Amino acid sequence: MRHYFLVGGLALLLFSVSSCKPTPQTEEQTAGADNADIQQGIYRQYTGTIGDLAVGLHLCMRHRANPDGLKETFYYGYYWYDNYQEPILIEGSPDSTGKTVLIEFGSGENSPEWLIDALDAQVLTGIWKGSRELPIQLKSVAQPAGSIAFTCAGLIGETKLRPDDPNSPGAMTSLSTLWPQNVNDPALDQFLRAEIAGGILGDSASTIFSSAADLLKKQQDEFVAAYQKDMSEFVEDTTTFSEDNKYMYSYDLQSDVSVVWNENNLLSLAFFSYVFSGGAHGNYATGLACYDLSKKRLLGINDVFKPGFEATLDAALEKSLRNKFGLAAKAPLTELLFEESFSYTDNFCLTGKGILFNYPPYEIAAYAVGEIKLFVPFSDVKSVLQPAFAK
């Protein structure tokens, strides 16, 4: 799996491909974990229609700190149209009038919006506003066959560098994770908890955590410890902080885990993280992972494709890129990318009808381009698919 985690004084988001070895199977409580700050969120699956088209949605809700430091309700997840099953990221919060607005990401400059009228445990209704306006009519559904039930937990916190100084900078965290619930197979439950911990903590994950609270507290503690270490080497005892300069000495970590696909013993997860550790802007990345639940196995690229797949897959990815960004067939890729060519990445996950690849900022294009998510339908690469995915 490709983990996105923080090392080296939190200066960079580094990309690491794990060896896919099982996490050591030991049970441990995080020492001194304070669960008082843990907030329970919500994970639901909805199905229904946007206009006349059938869609599905995996949606999470948690609380987070907004840019002004105030707590807000935050919705995030992935939806798809049944006829294609390309995952589309949506997220948002109630606006100043209290109306919830969700925005689609990865759809170009004029991103469609979901203007929500009702959102609860039974229904999600509203208006899809893009090139035209369409009604949204969704209903929550029970777990599909071969899926995993999850709960969502969040943790918001700030650790000041100088606790007694009202102008002190600090390390701010706004974290959440999914956590498997009521899994009848203990080995599968342990496997999923280990994979989620690895996706969040990277190579530092050596524990099967007993709860989401313990995992989030560990993530927070590691970030705060790294912040304090950096500041001890950077801030003098005589440094005076003010409202004007404290942001220069503040760090911020935000992370979420969300469901991309969850049925027929195929589970795909997205691990998002954003970190600000000084400089002009923060960095962010989304790591993708997919699991064969029947085999308790993280799927790699060679599990999906037959030997010799590379040229066919790369051509399909270029086709997807050109379609998504409106590049003509003979237009140079350097109008968008760093290089004239690019290749597949191990950062991928599956739906029932295709494969989603993600390239974080700076991997193949400039920061301003954002993450580049490219979907390849199985039908475009059928000749090189393993039999299990060529059906």
Residues 243 and 342 both lie in one domain: no
Reduced to 3 states, what is the DSSP secondary structure of residue 153?
Answer: strand
Alpha-carbon distances of 240 from 166, 194, 199, 229, 237, rounded to whole Å: 11, 43, 38, 19, 8
Residues 278 and 323 both lie in one domain: no
Domain count, the chain: 2
Instruction: Identify the DSSP state of 369.
Output: G
Q: What is the pLDDT of residue 237?
A: 81
Residues 290 and 375 both lie in one domain: no
Our CA dihedral for 293, 294, 295, 296, rounded to 10 degrees, sits at: 30
Q: How many CB atoms lie within 10 A of CB 315?
A: 13
Q: What is the pLDDT of residues 84-105, one digit of tens each?
A: 999 999 999 998 888 999 999 9
Instruction: Identify the DSSP state of 389.
Output: G
Is residue 24 domain-resident? no
Residues 340 and 224 both lie in one domain: no
Residue 290, sorted as left (phi over 0), alpha (psi -120 to 50) or beta, turns out to be: beta
User: How far is 289 from 268, CA to CA, in rounded Å?
Assistant: 6
* Domain termination site, one of 299, 332, 348: 299
- Pairing assessment for the beta strands 53-65 and 170-181 based on DSSP bridges: unpaired
Residue 325, sorted as left (phi over 0), alpha (psi -120 to 50) or beta, turns out to be: alpha
Residues 282 and 340 both lie in one domain: no
Residues 201 and 98 both lie in one domain: yes
* Domain termination site, one of 264, 299, 334: 299
Q: What is the pLDDT of residues 203-252, one digit of tens each?
A: 655 678 999 999 999 999 999 999 999 999 878 888 899 988 888 999 99
Pick from 284, 159, 272, 276: nearest CA to 224: 159
Supply the CATH number for residue 361's domain: 3.90.640.20
Is residue 20 domain-resident? no
Residue 180: strand pairing partners: 150
Q: Which domain holds residue 346?
A: 304-389
User: How far is 170 from 341, CA to CA, in rounded Å?
Assistant: 42
Residues 265 and 365 both lie in one domain: no
Tokens 């445990």 — which residue? 121
Residues 112 and 129 both lie in one domain: yes
Residue 277 and residue 10 in contact, taking contact as beta carbons nearer than 8 Å: yes
Say whether pLDDT at 264 is over 70. Answer: yes
Is residue 27 domain-resident? no
Is residue 23 domain-resident? no
Is residue 15 domain-resident? no
Q: What percent of the chain has pLDDT over 70?
A: 88
Q: What are phi and psi of 305, to 5 degrees?
A: -115, 150
Q: What is the pLDDT of residues 21-60, one digit of tens each?
A: 333 333 333 333 333 378 899 999 999 999 999 999 999 9
The tokens for 142 are: 């029970």
Alpha-carbon distances of 58 from 40, 147, 153, 267, 310, rounded to whole Å: 17, 12, 16, 12, 31
Residues 69 and 133 both lie in one domain: yes
Q: What is the pLDDT of residues 165-203, one digit of tens each?
A: 999 999 999 999 999 999 999 999 999 999 999 999 986
Residues 292 and 308 both lie in one domain: no
Q: How many CB atoms lie within 10 A of CB 55?
A: 20
Reduced to 3 states, what is the DSSP secondary structure of residue 35?
Answer: helix
Q: What is the pLDDT of residue 108?
A: 60
Q: How confident is the model at residue 272 (pLDDT cuts 50, 70, 90)?
A: very high
Is residue 89 domain-resident? yes
Residues 208 and 351 both lie in one domain: no
Is residue 338 domain-resident? yes
* Domain termination site, one of 245, 266, 299: 299
Q: For helices 186-201 and 212-234, give the axis angle rounded to 10 degrees.
A: 20
- Single pTM value for the model: 0.90
Residues 118 and 172 both lie in one domain: yes
Q: What is the pLDDT of residue 326?
A: 93
User: How far is 285 from 280, CA to CA, in rounded Å?
Assistant: 17
Residue 109 and residue 131 in contact, taking contact as beta carbons nearer than 8 Å: no
Q: How many CB atoms lie within 10 A of CB 219?
A: 25
Supply the CATH number for residue 205's domain: 3.30.565.40
Q: What is the pLDDT of residue 1?
A: 44
Is residue 18 domain-resident? no
